Amino acid sequence: MTDAPAAHQEGALGESPREDERSEILGLTRAKLVETLGETIDRPFRADQIYEAIYRQGKTDFEEMTTLGKDLRESLGRKFRIGVPAEADRHPSADGTVKYLFRLADGATIEAVDIPDRGRRTLCISSQAGCALACAFCVTGYWGAGRNLTPAEIVGQVLAIRRRQEGGSGPEPLNLVFMGMGEPLQNLEALHASLRVLTELVSWRRITVSTVGIVPGIRKLASWEKRPNLAVSLHAPDDARRDLIMPVNRTYPLADLLAALEEYPLERRRRITIEYLLIRDFNDAPSDAEALARLLGDLPVKINLIPVNPDPVLGERMVPPPDDRVDAFAERLRRRSYVATVRRRRGDDVSAACGQLRAPGREPRGFRQGALSW
Ligand code: SAH
């Protein structure tokens, strides 16, 4: 496929993106697509053809949809848009990870990361442009709140990256993780709409939504008929320390969060992922591993330990423990019968690693003084 930015469609019509009044069809479910296309299509199966072309073949321009007649392609192009976000920048990392910067129609920028890994591929997708939650270890939070992404903008990240990959759809199984910028459970409606479409490409079992632990959002997710995998950013074994690094804990403390996790419906042999950042001399002691094990009890979880990625804006205390301390922490958990893995850093030479996603060109909010001292 081409690597021309989506904007070339607007160019072809002699309009600037801002003046584009065509209706967006990206992110619409099949039923909504039929409804939206209305009389432009002669028969409902045209919607299926368009769906196939976009989501299976990665075509993002009506002109490429040669299963449709020329007249139909032209009238579709006049009335509707497939608004894949424009690629503003692309940073390939030495380890194969590629970080993308996308510019949205209103000028907001978001990042997404493509992580190839031994025969499979994981795309790390953003749900918001910015983040309001101000976690003390996260660069996205440092740069402050932005806005919710639309379903089209969420789905568009995946299509834009796939378009870049050789041949449109790589042969390897695709995983999607909502671990880019933003808090997905603060944008639940758009998340749900985008998942209904993205599951045309990737099964629910290969999609993971990561949350800071917004309890009503978790309960809402639990009520969905089909659910993605759930990952929870826990990061501390007690409220006192979680309060220090995650302001959201004052609203939804650990007891409430764990109660919601207890009730979260899981399919057979599925577990909730608990993400636990390891920050040197803050939450990395052997006794912290024991406290974490006591806290989790017999919840069906697997624990992903993440040595914190440092960043100049986070201050000098946000540093990972030495490797032997990380290993010892994991070992303690395993001795308590938990599955514990250590997340390898990927793409950190291009600041694509966890917690390093930022939208350039904005003034930082900075953190409240005090939140960073312990
Ligand atoms: N808001 C959601 C989705 C973002 S996910 C959430 O917090 O879960 C991003 C993941 O990277 C989370 O587990 C987050 O805690 C983690 N993360 C944030 N900053 C990090 C850093 N500096 N180093 C390593 N991981 C970080």
Query: 14 versus 69: which is more confidently predicted?
Result: 69
Question: Within a domain: residue 236?
Answer: yes
The answer on 142 and 28 residing in a single domain is no
Confidence (pLDDT) at 77: 96
Q: What is the 3-state secondary structure (H, E, C) of the chain?
A: CCCCCCHHHHHHCCCCHHHCCCEECCCCCHHHHHHHHHHHCCCCHHHHHHHHHHHHCCCCCHHHCCCCCHHHHHHHHHHEECCCCEEEEEEECCCCCEEEEEECCCCCEEEEEEEEECCEEEEECCCEECCCCCCCCCHHHHHCCCEECCHHHHHHHHHHHHHHCCCCCCCCCEEEEECCCCCHHHCHHHHHHHHHHHCCCCCHHHEEEEECCCHHHHHHHHCCCCCCEEEEECCCCCHHHHHHHCHHHHCCCHHHHHHHHHCCCCCCCCCEEEEEEECCCCCCCHHHHHHHHHHHCCCCEEEEEEECCCCHHHCCCCCCCCHHHHHHHHHHHHHCCCEEEECCCCCHHHCCCCCCCCCCCCCCCCCCCCCCCC
Question: Within a domain: residue 357?
Answer: no
Residue 354 a catalytic site member: yes
Q: How far apart are the CA of 78 and the centre of ligand 1, in A?
A: 41
The answer on 165 and 66 residing in a single domain is no
Taking the mean position of all CA atoms in its chain, how far away is CA 249? 21
Among 81, 104, 129, residue at a domain's last position: 81
The answer on 181 and 150 residing in a single domain is yes
Atom 21 in ligand 1: which residue has the minimum CA distance? 355
Confidence (pLDDT) at 170: 56
Given a cut of 90, whether residue 299 has pLDDT beyond it is: yes
Atom 19 in ligand 1: which residue has the minimum CA distance? 355
- Cα Rg of the chain, angstroms: 22
Q: How far apart are the CA of 355 and the centre of ligand 1, in A?
A: 5
Question: Within a domain: residue 226?
Answer: yes
The answer on 191 and 150 residing in a single domain is yes
Query: 172 versus 205: which is more confidently predicted?
Result: 205
Nearest ligand 1 atom to alpha carbon 131: 1
Which among 241, 252, 284 has a CA at the least distance from the CA of 372?
Answer: 241
Given a cut of 90, whether residue 178 has pLDDT beyond it is: yes
Question: Within a domain: residue 220?
Answer: yes
Q: How far apart are the CA of 20 and the centre of ligand 1, in A?
A: 35
Catalytic residue among 10, 111, 153, 183: 111
Confidence (pLDDT) at 54: 93
Query: 9-23, 66-80, 91-105, 312-326: which has the minimum mean pLDDT?
Result: 9-23
Atom 7 in ligand 1: which residue has the minimum CA distance? 212
Atom 1 in ligand 1: which residue has the minimum CA distance? 183
Which among 352, 349, 305 has a CA at the least distance from the CA of 124?
Answer: 352
Question: Within a domain: residue 359?
Answer: no
Ligand 1 pocket check for 138: Cβ under 6 Å: yes
Provide the pairing of β-strand 301-307 with 109-117. Answer: unpaired
pLDDT (tens digit per residue) in 99-143: 999 999 999 999 999 998 888 899 999 999 999 999 999 998 888
Ligand 1 pocket check for 355: Cβ under 6 Å: yes
d(CA 260, CA 160): 35
The answer on 52 and 131 residing in a single domain is no
pLDDT (tens digit per residue) in 138-166: 998 888 888 999 999 999 999 999 888 75
Ligand 1 pocket check for 275: Cβ under 6 Å: yes
Among 13, 47, 81, residue at a domain's last position: 81
Query: 258 versus 20: which is more confidently predicted?
Result: 258
Burial per residue of 109-118, b for 16 or more beta-carbon CB atoms within 10 angstroms, e otherwise: bbbbbbbbee
Confidence (pLDDT) at 1: 37
Given a cut of 80, whether residue 357 has pLDDT beyond it is: no
360: confidence class by pLDDT, cuts 50, 70, 90: low
Question: Within a domain: residue 362?
Answer: no
pLDDT (tens digit per residue) in 220-255: 999 999 999 999 999 999 999 999 999 999 999 999
Confidence (pLDDT) at 12: 40
Residue 288 in tokens: 């912290």
pLDDT (tens digit per residue) in 306-345: 999 998 889 999 999 999 999 999 999 999 999 999 987 7
State percent of the chain over pLDDT 90.
Answer: 74
Neighbours of 216 (CB within 10 A): 12
Ligand 1 pocket check for 306: Cβ under 6 Å: yes
Q: How far apart are the CA of 179 and the centre of ligand 1, in A?
A: 7
The answer on 330 and 224 residing in a single domain is yes
Q: How far apart are the CA of 232 and the centre of ligand 1, in A?
A: 10
The answer on 209 and 263 residing in a single domain is yes
What residues make up the domain containing 114?
Answer: 86-350
Provide the pairing of β-strand 23-24 with 80-81. Answer: parallel
Residue 111 a catalytic site member: yes
Atom 20 in ligand 1: which residue has the minimum CA distance? 355
pTM of the predicted model as reported, rounded to 2 decimal places: 0.90
What is the average pLDDT score of the chain?
Answer: 89
Q: How far apart are the CA of 241 and the centre of ligand 1, in A?
A: 16
The answer on 158 and 92 residing in a single domain is yes
The answer on 107 and 77 residing in a single domain is no
Given a cut of 90, whether residue 373 has pLDDT beyond it is: no
Nearest ligand 1 atom to alpha carbon 318: 22
Confidence (pLDDT) at 19: 62
Are 88 and 112 in contact by the 8 Å Cβ rule? The answer is: no
Given a cut of 80, whether residue 5 has pLDDT beyond it is: no
Ligand 1 pocket check for 137: Cβ under 6 Å: yes
Question: Within a domain: residue 95?
Answer: yes
Nearest ligand 1 atom to alpha carbon 138: 19
Taking the mean position of all CA atoms in its chain, how far away is CA 45? 32
Q: How far apart are the CA of 337 and the centre of ligand 1, in A?
A: 25
298: confidence class by pLDDT, cuts 50, 70, 90: very high
Given a cut of 90, whether residue 349 has pLDDT beyond it is: no
| Number of domains making up the chain | 2
Ligand 1 pocket check for 210: Cβ under 6 Å: yes
pLDDT (tens digit per residue) in 301-311: 999 999 999 98
Atom 11 in ligand 1: which residue has the minimum CA distance? 354
Ligand 1 pocket check for 276: Cβ under 6 Å: no
CATH number of the domain residue 34 falls in: 1.10.150.530
Q: List Cα–Cα distances, 303 to 55, 300, 332, in angstroms.
A: 33, 10, 12
CATH number of the domain residue 244 falls in: 3.20.20.70
Confidence (pLDDT) at 164: 84
Ligand 1 pocket check for 186: Cβ under 6 Å: no
d(CA 108, CA 102): 8
The answer on 162 and 281 residing in a single domain is yes
Ligand 1 pocket check for 354: Cβ under 6 Å: yes
